[in-house]
Amino acid sequence: MINRVVLVGRLTKDPELRYTPSGVAMARFTLAVNRTFSNQQGEKEADFINCTVWRKQAENTANFLKKGSLAGVEGRIQTGSYEGQDGKRVYTTDVVADSVQFLEPRNSSGGGDRPQQGQPYGGGSNPNQNNQYPSYQQNQSPNQQNYTRVDEDPFSSGSGPIEVSDDDLPF
């Protein structure tokens, strides 16, 4: 049996970070995910999906995401129910996230200030993922600078414009 969910959307409000009595971090947030089709009035609608994330991912989510942040969530659907205040059974559907990816820099439309050098804003634990800042080549240490030497510049030999034919263009 397979229960996998992959979502990309924007947070509707700041994540709520809480801790269990045993000290395990848990964050809840709602992701607005646009539908791929329009309604009869030609407008795009969105689904508002409740998400839960645990442990270090929860703390990272609460620290680096806020209302309007673009995020990718991978996880599983979990259903549940409880008895409401009126005595009726209330059914819930949530996405329990295994991974929350932060899909834009913190200084863009949805985020705050950019993290300081060496402080990732990505949600994954892999420091070589493309959504981390700063980005390093896979076999390059964080302290090593990647400068191009002028005598190795492939474009420095010509003094005029570079000629490119229309046949060489990919579009």
Once rounded to an integer, what is the mean pLDDT over residues 130-149?
Answer: 40
Q: Which range among 75-79, 102-106, 159-163 has the greatest average pLDDT?
A: 75-79
Instruction: Tell me the H-state helices in the chain.
Output: 55-64
Helix (H, G, I), strand (E, B) or coil at 22: coil
Sign of the dihedral defined by the CA atoms of residues 158, 160, 165, 166, in that order: positive
- CATH homologous superfamily of domain 5-140? Nucleic acid-binding proteins (2.40.50.140)
Higher pLDDT, 44 or 137: 44
Stated pTM of the model? 0.60
Give the integer Cα–Cα distance in Å for 100 and 56. 11
Q: Which DSSP string do the residues of 118-134 spell out, in sequence order?
A: T----SSS-TTSTTSSS
What pLDDT digit, counting tens, does each position of 33-60 carry? 999 888 888 888 999 999 999 999 999 9
Q: In whole angstroms, how far apart are CA 54 and each of 32, 95, 99, 135?
A: 20, 12, 10, 26
Give residue 152's pLDDT band: very low, low, confident or very high (50, 70, 90): low
Domain boundaries, the chain: 5-140
Would you call the peptide bond into 134 cis, given omega within 30 degrees of 0 as the criterion? yes
